[in-house]
Structures are given as structure tokens and as C-alpha cells.
Structure 1
Amino acid sequence: MTANIVVKCRNCRRNIIEDCENHLVNAHNLPRNKDHEVNCLSITEETNIFLNEENLPLWISNKIQEVNWSKGRLNCTECDARIGGFDFISGHKCECLENPLPPVHFIKSKVDLIKVKQ
């Protein structure tokens, strides 16, 4: 059996992303798995879940395009709760000052990552 990771809104429990294995990255923009662990003590990594900007779900891409790839919030499509954001302007760096943070993120306290067996 394989396990798939689903991102759910913590407020309404709606699935935000069904199959997020290819969507999630760490604070250094590397795929989130054990092969790409980074020895960075970033607090940002503990509070945010970053998404690969080149492989975003359609609803997130549409939201980003609405504001011309600038800055904005991501809200649940069901209950409209704030679940994350994006910032293509500021170019914030990780606390280790090595890499710019990925511009699209979910707030860990607003979403749940659930492993679903297939």
C-alpha cells in the first residue's frame, strides 16, 4: 500500500490539495523528503509549509495571476479562512541567509497534512 499526503483546511476539513507529494518543498526550495534534509534551524520551516511555485494547484495559480504575481493571501475555497499566502516581491531569505524562501506557503496552524492509504 502506498500513502498519499492530503492538505486539509483545519477550519472546515475540506481537502485543499489532494495529492501534494510534488507540491511541497522545504524552506530551501528542495523537495520535502529525507533525501533533501537541510541542517537549518529555521523557525520559518516550523511555522510554514512551502509549495513549489512551478507545480502549483490550479486554484492557487489563478489567485496569484489575479494579483499579477505580487503579494496576497490564500484562503480556503470552501470556508474562506486564511490558510497561507504568497509574496513574489519581497524575496525574504531563510534565517540561515543562504537561500530565498519559496514565495508560496501554507500556515501550519491553519492546515493539516494527512497521510491517506491507497
Structure 2
Amino acid sequence: MNTLGALHFLKNEYDDAFRYWKQGAEVGDAESHFNMGVRYRSGDGIEKDEEMGLRHLEKAAIAGHPLARSLLGCYEDDNHRYERASKHFFIAASFGCCQSVLMLKYYYVDGYISEDEYAGSLR
């Protein structure tokens, strides 16, 4: 379902793309939730809806999608909730998300996490 949605999205067939992603999300596909979350947050191909976007990103993150988890960390960071953001980044980093490791480096430099915590994220 996710792949069919992506193919339709690339052809600017947004209604079909979201129909397939919705079907994928209904059966718990993390990538479908991720794609819907990103598109709802950006308004790319659908009316922008931040709350709906976050809801889909949360479902993708719970299903183990590292980049969704990292984007949730960025959302928390943008809202100055650094402790919550760092937790998202730690989880995503444990799945190998390079962006989250980089964010944790900045958190270490800025004093939001300890040297031991940062070193642990690199392991």
C-alpha cells in the first residue's frame, strides 16, 4: 500500500496516494503513517493539519520508524521541550538514525545532555 501511495504521489495523483497510504496505515504500516504524517504537516498534496500529522508520526514512531521518531524530537525541540526531544532522539539514535545522533551532539554541546549520555548514543 505504501509503495502504491508513493507511486501515485510522484505522479501528483494525491487523492490516490492518500487512499493507499490510509489503507496501509489502517493495518499498521509504519511507512504509510510516516508519509501521511509528513504530508499533513507540510500540506504537500493535502490540506495542512499539524495535529493530524503529529498523530501519524506518533503511530509511525511507535511502530519503530526511526525518522518519524526523530521528527517528533525536532517538533519537541522547536517547542523548547528539550527533555522530551532528547528522549525521542535517543530512541531514534538507537535505531541508527544519523540525524538524531547529530541532534544529540548539539544537545551535548548546549548542555542539555551529559557527556555519558552522548557517548551512549554513539554506541
Same fold (TM over 0.5): no
> Which structure has greater strand proportion?
1
> Which structure has greater helix proportion?
2
TM-score (norm 2): 0.25
Larger Rg computed on CA atoms: 2
